[in-house]
């Protein structure tokens, strides 16, 4: 393709009115104005295979009209062509398609259509002879048509100039071979019947003769520059090919219109299924009529009816393959494609490759132990079984413990486990490769590898792990890095566009190498690149073509470095540039389908129609294929079909369906008819009129059935037909009619618009202060439109108010009776109708009850004062005025102050500012004013309760103007970029402007150059000076000016242009280690010209590279230390001891950091360790105390042991301190207590060679106080006296005395009762019984002592002695019982023989303690 460039000038006569301001930006053409606009279009010409870039220069020039009054309208055609009739078979006529670009192109579309027809007629005449202008009665240029504004271009005058092909087109035509290209130029062969009839009528009706304006034949000039109308016609015609009709989502329309099928859902191209489930291959489509479905398998028809396992879902093409009755899913693997068909065409799904997921078992193998020398590299290969999809690999031990991975040991992307160098501790576990399969959710484990490490140091001494040079300590020879993967020094890798690129470098060496990544000739893409697997892998997401190139990884240790270069090539499967879209046209319209895709290699494009190759489809004279574009001309109903575009290369394919549907539908209205729209006055509203038709109808709006089309001014018509009224007025009320018209008819709908008055609260509730128990009334008076229903509701604290029995809601107020504290809060009155609402808020403050007042004022509730009123301005002077007001009621609290505020309407209209403050005793004051301010004042009264509402504003008073008396403040000059300087200042307010058109004269010049001042006038508050040198001082002045003159001479401010990044780094950086946590830095200063800005500081970036203690993880987060000013030395502190650090220095200015200095390395010496962690003190018994602790979090060196200091204490008494030293591996100790009462205080610290670190202190728990008495135990852990022996003995004695008293009380209560023994026993009493006179037994004892012959033991029991009158002799071997009053109710028995009692020294009688329990 050859891209040409044609430039033409279009001169528009003055006085021609544009019908749409959207066509050209200037709208109507003025009388004394010349303007030029360039419009660039790049389109593919339908006549030749060139891309013609047309620069259309549109110029407004004075009109050269020979007749008529200036500005009079020329005869123009109507903006809507009259429908024509077809010449053949009485078919309906048709107009040229008016697509969605009608609104954008305006009435120029009629011009383009006419030019296209005339150009086609020109080709029909054999490209020679004259071109007839349109006839007077033609549809395009007929005088006497309905009055409408003239078009943008006088079409009638155009034809007289002649129509010629562009020179580039003509040259291409002359050099083109015969055949297809010539047929494309000679469009008369494909003219529709309507076009032919119109051309014949135009030629026949052309006026002839002297008075007709006929200038005779116009000979074609060989080298004449073609007029621009041809280019406009070509461009607008091509634009019209790119649009189509859109079907509305209205279900009634969707169900009525015929549509070819469209695929709506389908399975993915690579469809992997679980063999345990039924197979589901999705395919769903829509269309009208509903489509039918069939499938192909491996490009052959798939007969579903012959296979009982296969079925298709109802009203869908989805295949279901059922294996519940048996069968192997593998038998159904293959490539499937779905076809959805109805009578208008066939749509195709993607080719779906069906595969069954596989998870094969690991082959059986016996793995011998892997023997390797310590320090040598090692690769343990996984080689997982090939699964579908590929399994996820991870390494674990045979006991299912994960393998710890780090910089030395890590898993590669291929699943192998790599050891950069093998250490003795690596044989402490075995290594098993595991594969996890996604679909089957199974994990398969390979037989484990066992390592046998040969070493010169057979003992795995844990202390060597923290040795600064672990490898030398273990006798492992150091060696330079070498790559384990990939092999060699260079490799290549291909990746597809949009995928992730994963580059991997795994190196061996002693010590373990570090990996760094670089890109040759550029930086790594920071937004897409990230390092993984301990920097061994570089991942770049969403790869694009610019990511191709050479990448290299650098593996380095202290023995040396090597690099591996990876050449990355980015290929691409096809991806869409222009995916074909469904094309819906009206009969006779033109359109095109575009299928553009890109890829690497370049994809090929294949067109199909209804699933068949386009080459084998029946010929269609209305269709033309031009590579990736199909052009349709003069489409008819028979042109409906579904087209497929298949674009493919070796990496994949894209398949898209796009149907061509030809609709012939008269206009239809989609909204309900005769809608009523009610809107509030002065609001914005939108009248909707959704419509549909094919060809696309033209929509117009009319008001009250008369007048011209509504568009412009207060009206705006949108693309979808909606009419917007920007601000509703009373006169906008009425009936609006929208009319949609196309060649098949018209449809209309009406919308009635009613304008309502707004709802407004004109008497708002006011803030009130009420005494508790009083009555409060909140007013809310509303004005609204009487035709709307008004609802007034109240909110309290922005929540709906519940109207209880203490409240009364009336039409214009809310009354609260008996105000309580809970009633305090904000009250909002909401007045609403169905169209709008208004609200007003007030705050109610409730005061608590007060004491009895001593005077009348104290008895009354206090409140905020009422607003002042009746403001009056007197003594009007040039710079002052007197303001007088009448104070409002002070509401029982004297007014202390008045605040006068003002508002001006020029700079901040509606914003009130404090002007002055006056005592509460005055009501008149003289106010000092500024020049040229239109003042308005109000007054606020203040008392101890609060502020009043502002008074109503006073009348306005404007002072006369004057030159400014000051200049703007806070003038600064700072660079926002390296080559500019932004001058800013604080703008002056209304009271300091002193006149209209306040502006600022900004002056600047370079300092100390004696050059002249540059100046500019600015209306804002900033100005940017461009093209300045880097960081150069400037003298700046900003002076205020208004229409009355300039302000005083401004002060000179020094500003600086923008800074650039520093160009140099500090040199000769020297490091001196001060101690284990601090270093001293010294450097040489950089030259001042390399700073390129203001030197803010020298900054050191440092990071902890590693600890000298091996296997101790450290954070490598970068830290920084700044040294402000031009300093040459500094101290970096708060470092970690016994660590390797790296440090870089930079220069910092206002722009940022400069380049980094050479990286310096230093090592901090050992320091004292941090405190041991988790120090725990446990006391399992009263004899021992167990101590346990963990190693310090920061050893800060090699631990040599722990120091434990402890001391016993009891209250204020402290024993001798004991010191114990432990080995570094000991973390437990047991202390033998000297006594069970004392407590111990322990202090534990760790030691290095430098000394002891921070100690951690704990105390042993307080032992519980255990009493010796069974009955009562007293414990007091808060007082030291509780641990004393004498106190414990005293408590036991007190408890014993209490117990004895209880026993005595019981005995005294129980004695004296007489029991009729004879009634209970038939056996007579013996002669030794003491009393027998009245047949009763006296149980009491006359002296208040315990029972005779008994003694009380310490545990509260009574030991039975050998007594003849013991109660036990009368018992029956059980415990006696007492009734509620303590009397004995047991039955007596015959006294037992003395021999029986002698054998038992202790009685079984009821003890006093048991007696007490029975009483309870």
Checking if the pLDDT of 308 tops 70, the result is yes
Checking if the pLDDT of 1045 tops 60, the result is yes
- Residues 280-299 pLDDT 10s: 999 999 998 999 999 999 99
What pLDDT is stored for residue 1212 in this prediction? Answer: 82
- What residues contact 870, with CB distance under 8 A and at least 6 apart? 885, 886
Average pLDDT for 1085-1109: 92
Return the percentage of the chain with pLDDT > 70, whole number.
Answer: 72
Cα–Cα distance measured from residue 1157 to residue 1145, given in angstroms and rounded to the nearest whole number = 5
Q: What is the bridge-based pairing of β-strands 583-585 and 897-903?
A: unpaired
What pLDDT is stored for residue 19 in this prediction? Answer: 32
Checking if the pLDDT of 737 tops 80, the result is yes
Q: How far apart are the first and last CA of the chain?
A: 117
Average pLDDT for 224-247: 48
Return the closest-CA partner of residue 630 out of 693, 696, 578, 576: 578
Average pLDDT for 880-899: 92
Minimum mean pLDDT range among 820-824, 1001-1005, 1328-1332: 1328-1332
What pLDDT is stored for residue 49 in this prediction? Answer: 34
Checking if the pLDDT of 173 tops 50, the result is no
Name which residue leads in pLDDT, 100 or 703.
703
Average pLDDT for 178-198: 36
Minimum mean pLDDT range among 454-463, 670-679, 862-871, 878-887: 454-463
The SS3 of residue 130 is coil
Checking if the pLDDT of 248 tops 90, the result is no
Q: Give the DSSP H/E element, type plus range, for residue 1415.
A: helix 1408-1415
Minimum mean pLDDT range among 136-150, 601-615, 728-742: 136-150
What pLDDT is stored for residue 1023 in this prediction? Answer: 94
- Residues 373-399 pLDDT 10s: 999 999 999 988 888 888 899 999 988
Name which residue leads in pLDDT, 583 or 168.
583
Q: How large is the C-alpha radius of gyration of the chain?
A: 53
Return the closest-CA partner of residue 1146 out of 1232, 1062, 1047, 1258: 1062
Return the closest-CA partner of residue 1411 out of 1303, 1312, 1339: 1303
What pLDDT is stored for residue 679 in this prediction? Answer: 94
- What residues contact 967, with CB distance under 8 A and at least 6 apart? 1038, 1039, 1040, 1047, 1048, 1050, 1051
Return the closest-CA partner of residue 993 out of 1027, 965, 1031: 965
Secondary structure tally for the chain: helices H, strands E: 16, 93
Cα–Cα distance measured from residue 55 to residue 40, given in angstroms and rounded to the nearest whole number = 5
Return the closest-CA partner of residue 229 out of 25, 4, 11: 11
Cα–Cα distance measured from residue 465 to residue 477, given in angstroms and rounded to the nearest whole number = 16
Minimum mean pLDDT range among 119-128, 308-317, 532-541, 1209-1218: 119-128
Checking if the pLDDT of 161 tops 60, the result is no
Cα–Cα distance measured from residue 1041 to residue 993, given in angstroms and rounded to the nearest whole number = 8
Identify the band that residue 226 occupies on the pLDDT scale cut at 50, 70 and 90. very low
Identify the band that residue 859 occupies on the pLDDT scale cut at 50, 70 and 90. low
Alpha-carbon distances of 991 from 884, 1049, 1173, rounded to whole Å: 22, 19, 69
Average pLDDT for 676-688: 91
Is 1211:1280 a contact under the CB 8 Å cutoff?
yes
Name which residue leads in pLDDT, 75 or 1089.
1089
Name which residue leads in pLDDT, 803 or 50.
803
What pLDDT is stored for residue 895 in this prediction? Answer: 93
Cα–Cα distance measured from residue 670 to residue 692, given in angstroms and rounded to the nearest whole number = 7
63 — phi, psi (to 5°)? -75, 140
What pLDDT is stored for residue 109 in this prediction? Answer: 39
What pLDDT is stored for residue 1282 in this prediction? Answer: 60
- Residues 542-596 pLDDT 10s: 999 999 999 999 999 999 999 999 999 999 999 999 999 999 888 888 999 999 9
Cα–Cα distance measured from residue 889 to residue 863, given in angstroms and rounded to the nearest whole number = 10
Identify the band that residue 1311 occupies on the pLDDT scale cut at 50, 70 and 90. low
User: 398-434 burial, b for 16+ CB within 10 Å, e for fewer?
Assistant: eeeeebeeeebbbbbbebbbbbbbbbbebbebbbbbb
Average pLDDT for 594-606: 93
Q: What is the DSSP letter of 627?
A: T
- Residues 1363-1375 pLDDT 10s: 344 333 333 344 4
Average pLDDT for 1213-1240: 89
Question: How many residues make up the chain in this entry?
Answer: 1416
Cα–Cα distance measured from residue 312 to residue 308, given in angstroms and rounded to the nearest whole number = 11
**Region for residue 139 given its phi and psi (left: phi exceeds 0; alpha: psi -120 to 50; beta: otherwise):** alpha
Q: What is the bridge-based pairing of β-strands 1045-1046 and 1078-1084?
A: unpaired
Average pLDDT for 594-610: 93
- Residues 808-823 pLDDT 10s: 999 899 999 999 988 9
Identify the band that residue 63 occupies on the pLDDT scale cut at 50, 70 and 90. very low
What pLDDT is stored for residue 1243 in this prediction? Answer: 95
Checking if the pLDDT of 46 tops 70, the result is no
Identify the band that residue 1004 occupies on the pLDDT scale cut at 50, 70 and 90. very high
Tell me which residue has tokens 């020329």: 74
Quote the tokens at residue 363. 């082959």
Minimum mean pLDDT range among 677-681, 884-888, 1183-1187, 1383-1387: 1383-1387
Return the closest-CA partner of residue 916 out of 931, 934, 932, 930: 930
Cα–Cα distance measured from residue 1198 to residue 1362, given in angstroms and rounded to the nearest whole number = 82
Average pLDDT for 1190-1215: 90
The SS3 of residue 815 is strand
Average pLDDT for 756-785: 92
Minimum mean pLDDT range among 182-196, 330-344, 1042-1056: 182-196
Average pLDDT for 707-723: 83
Identify the band that residue 785 occupies on the pLDDT scale cut at 50, 70 and 90. very high
Average pLDDT for 1104-1118: 88
Checking if the pLDDT of 619 tops 90, the result is no
- Residues 918-947 pLDDT 10s: 999 899 999 999 888 899 999 999 999 999
User: 604-615 burial, b for 16+ CB within 10 Å, e for fewer?
Assistant: ebbbbbbbeebe
Checking if the pLDDT of 55 tops 70, the result is no
Quote the tokens at residue 555. 């593996």
Is 490:564 a contact under the CB 8 Å cutoff?
yes
What pLDDT is stored for residue 466 in this prediction? Answer: 52
What pLDDT is stored for residue 610 in this prediction? Answer: 92
Average pLDDT for 208-213: 39
- What residues contact 1145, with CB distance under 8 A and at least 6 apart? 1065, 1066, 1069, 1081, 1083, 1098, 1099, 1100, 1101, 1156, 1157
- Residues 7-18 pLDDT 10s: 333 333 333 333
Tell me the pLDDT of the chain averaged across its residues: 76
Identify the band that residue 1235 occupies on the pLDDT scale cut at 50, 70 and 90. confident
Checking if the pLDDT of 212 tops 50, the result is no
Is 138:207 a contact under the CB 8 Å cutoff?
no
Minimum mean pLDDT range among 305-314, 1137-1146, 1268-1277: 1268-1277
Average pLDDT for 885-910: 91
């Amino acid at each position: 393709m050859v891209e040409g460039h044609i430039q033409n000038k279009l001169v528009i006569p003055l006085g021609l009115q544009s019908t749409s301001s959207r066509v050209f930006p200037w709208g109507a053409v003025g009388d004394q104005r010349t303007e030029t606009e360039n419009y660039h279009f790049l389109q593919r010409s339908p006549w030749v295979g060139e891309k013609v870039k047309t620069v259309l220069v549109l110029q407004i020039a004075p009109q050269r009209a020979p007749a008529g009054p200036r500005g009079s309208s020329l005869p123009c055609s109507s903006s809507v062509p009259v429908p024509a009739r077809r010449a053949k078979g009485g078919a309906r006529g048709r107009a040229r398609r008016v697509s969605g670009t009608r609104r954008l192109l305006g009435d120029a579309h009629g011009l383009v259509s006419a030019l296209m027809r005339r150009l086609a007629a020109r080709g029909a005449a054999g490209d020679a002879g004259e071109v007839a202008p349109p006839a007077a009665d033609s549809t395009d240029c007929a005088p006497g048509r309905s009055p409408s504004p003239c078009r943008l271009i006088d079409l009638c005058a155009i034809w007289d100039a002649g129509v010629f092909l562009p020179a580039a087109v003509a040259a291409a035509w002359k050099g083109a071979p015969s055949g297809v290209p010539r047929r494309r130029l000679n469009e008369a062969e494909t003219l529709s019947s309507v076009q032919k009839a119109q051309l014949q009528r135009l030629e026949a009706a052309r006026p002839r003769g002297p008075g007709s304006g006929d200038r005779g034949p116009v000979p074609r000039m060989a080298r004449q520059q073609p007029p621009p109308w041809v280019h406009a016609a070509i461009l607008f015609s091509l634009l019209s090919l790119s649009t189509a009709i859109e079907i509305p989502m209205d279900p009634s329309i969707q169900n009525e219109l015929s549509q070819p099928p469209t695929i709506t859902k389908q399975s993915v191209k690579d469809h992997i299924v679980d063999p345990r489930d039924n197979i589901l291959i999705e395919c769903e489509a829509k269309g009208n009529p509903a489509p039918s479905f069939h499938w192909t398998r491996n490009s052959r028809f798939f007969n579903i009816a012959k296979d009982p396992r296969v079925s298709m879902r109802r009203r869908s093409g989805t295949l279901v393959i059922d294996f519940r009755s048996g069968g192997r899913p593998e038998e159904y693997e293959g490539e499937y494609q779905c076809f959805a068909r109805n009578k208008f065409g066939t749509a195709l799904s993607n080719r779906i490759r069906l595969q069954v997921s596989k998870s094969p078992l690991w082959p059986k193998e016996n793995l011998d132990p892997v023997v390797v020398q310590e320090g040598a590299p090692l690769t343990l290969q996984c080689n997982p079984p090939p699964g579908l999809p590929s399994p996820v690999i991870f390494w674990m031990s045979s006991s299912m413990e994960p393998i710890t991975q780090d910089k030395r040991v890590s898993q590669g992307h291929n699943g192998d486990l790599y050891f950069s160098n093998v250490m003795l501790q690596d044989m402490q576990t075995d290594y098993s490769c595991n594969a996890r399969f996604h679909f089957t959710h199974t994990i398969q484990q390979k037989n484990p590898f066992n390592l046998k490490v040969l070493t010169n140091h057979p003992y795995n001494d844990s202390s060597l792990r923290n040795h600064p040079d672990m490898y030398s300590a273990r006798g492992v020879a150091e060696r330079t890095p070498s790559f384990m993967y990939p092999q060699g020094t260079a490799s290549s890798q291909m990746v597809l566009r949009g995928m992730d690129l994963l580059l991997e470098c795994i190196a061996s060496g002693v010590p373990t190498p570090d990996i760094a990544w670089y890109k040759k000739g550029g930086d790594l893409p920071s937004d897409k690149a990230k390092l993984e697997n301990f920097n061994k892998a570089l991942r770049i997401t969403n790869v694009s073509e610019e990511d191709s190139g050479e990448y290299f990884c650098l593996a380095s240790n202290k023995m040396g470095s090597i690099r591996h270069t990876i050449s990355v090539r980015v290929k691409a499967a096809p991806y869409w540039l222009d995916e074909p879209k469904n094309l819906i046209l009206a009969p006779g319209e033109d359109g095109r389908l575009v299928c553009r895709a890109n890829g690497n290699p370049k994809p090929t494009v294949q067109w199909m129609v209804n699933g068949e190759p386009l080459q084998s489809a029946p010929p269609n004279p209305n269709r033309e294929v031009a590579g990736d574009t199909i052009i349709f001309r003069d489409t008819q109903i028979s042109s409906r079909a579904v087209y497929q575009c298949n674009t493919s290369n070796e990496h994949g394919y894209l398949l898209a369906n796009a149907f061509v549907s030809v609709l012939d539908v008269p206009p239809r209205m989609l909204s309900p008819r005769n809608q009523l729209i009610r809107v509030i006055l002065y609001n914005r509203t939108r009248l909707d009129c959704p419509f549909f038709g094919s060809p696309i109808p033209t929509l117009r709006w009319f008001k009250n059935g008369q007048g011209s089309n509504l568009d412009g001014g207060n009206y705006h018509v949108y693309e979808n037909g909606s009419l917007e009224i920007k601000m509703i007025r009373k006169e906008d009320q009425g009936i609006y009619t929208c009319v949609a018209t196309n060649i098949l008819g018209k449809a209309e709908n009406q919308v009635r618009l009613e304008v309502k008055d707004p709802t407004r609260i004109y008497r708002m509730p006011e803030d009130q202060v009420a005494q508790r128990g009083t009555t409060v009334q909140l007013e809310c008076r509303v004005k609204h439109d009487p035709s709307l229903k008004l609802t007034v509701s109240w909110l309290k604290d922005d929540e709906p108010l519940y109207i209880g029995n203490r409240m009364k809601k009336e039409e214009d107020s809310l009354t609260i009776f008996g105000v309580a504290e809970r009633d305090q809060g904000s009250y909002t009155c909401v007045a609403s109708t169905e169209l709008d609402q208004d609200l007003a808020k007030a705050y109610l403050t409730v005061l608590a009850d007060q004491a009895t007042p001593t005077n009348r004022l104290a008895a009354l509730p206090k409140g905020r004062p009422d607003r002042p009123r009746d403001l009056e301005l007197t003594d009007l002077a040039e710079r002052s005025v007197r303001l007088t007001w009448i104070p409002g009621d002070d509401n029982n609290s004297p007014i202390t102050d008045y605040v006068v505020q003002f508002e001006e309407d020029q700079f901040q209209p509606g914003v009130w500012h404090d002007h002055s403050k006056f005592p509460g005793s005055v009501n008149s004051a003289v106010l000092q004013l500024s020049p040229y301010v239109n003042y308005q004042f109000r007054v606020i009264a203040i008392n101890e309760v609060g502020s009043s509402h502002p008074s109503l504003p006073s009348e306005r008073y404007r002072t006369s103007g004057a030159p400014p008396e000051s200049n703007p403040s806070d003038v600064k000059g700072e660079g926002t970029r390296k080559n500019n300087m932004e001058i800013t200042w604080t703008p002056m307010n209304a009271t300091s402007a002193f006149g209209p058109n306040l502006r600022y004269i900004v002056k600047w010049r370079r300092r100390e150059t004696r050059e002249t001042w540059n100046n500019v006038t600015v209306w804002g508050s900033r100005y940017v000076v461009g093209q300045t040198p880097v960081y150069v001082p400037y003298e700046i002045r900003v002076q205020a000016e208004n229409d009355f003159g300039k302000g005083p001479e401004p002060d000179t401010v020094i500003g600086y242009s923008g800074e650039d990044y520093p160009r140099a780094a500090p040199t000769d950086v020297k490091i001196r280690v001060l101690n284990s946590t601090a270093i001293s830095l010294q450097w040489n200063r950089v030259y001042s010209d390399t700073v390129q800005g203001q030197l803010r500081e020298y900054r050191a970036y440092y990071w902890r590279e590693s600890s000298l203690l091996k296997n101790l993880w450290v954070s490598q987060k970068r830290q920084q230390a700044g040294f402000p000013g031009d300093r040459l030395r500094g101290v970096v502190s708060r470092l970690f001891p016994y660590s390797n650090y790296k440090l870089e220095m930079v220069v910092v200015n206002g722009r940022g950091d400069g380049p980094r200095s050479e990286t310096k390395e230093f090592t901090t010496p050992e320091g004292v360790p941090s405190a041991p962690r988790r120090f725990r003190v446990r006391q399992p018994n009263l004899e021992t105390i167990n101590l346990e602790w963990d190693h310090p979090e920061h050893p800060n060196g090699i631990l040599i042991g722990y120091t434990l200091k402890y001391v016993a204490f009891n209250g204020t008494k402290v024993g001798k301190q004991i010191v114990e030293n432990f080995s570094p591996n000991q973390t437990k100790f047991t202390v033998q207590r000297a006594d069970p009462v004392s407590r111990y205080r322990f202090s534990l610290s760790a030691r290095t060679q430098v000394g002891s670190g921070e100690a951690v202190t704990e105390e042993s728990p307080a032992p519980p106080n255990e009493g010796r008495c069974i009955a009562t135990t007293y414990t007091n852990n808060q007082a030291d006296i509780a641990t004393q022996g004498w106190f414990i003995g005293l408590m036991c004695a007190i408890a014993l005395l209490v117990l004895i008293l209880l026993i005595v009380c019981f005995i005294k209560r129980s004695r004296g009762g007489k029991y009729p023994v004879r009634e209970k026993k038939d056996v007579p009493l013996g002669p030794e019984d003491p009393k027998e006179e009245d047949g009763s037994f006296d149980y009491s004892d006359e002296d208040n002592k315990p029972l005779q012959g008994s003694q009380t033991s310490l545990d509260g029991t009574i030991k039975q002695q050998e007594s003849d009158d013991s109660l036990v002799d009368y018992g029956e071997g059980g415990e006696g019982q007492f009734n509620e009053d303590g009397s004995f109710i047991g039955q007596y028995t015959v006294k037992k023989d003395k021999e029986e009692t002698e054998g038992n020294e202790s009685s079984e009688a009821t003890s006093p303690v048991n007696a007490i329990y029975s009483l309870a």
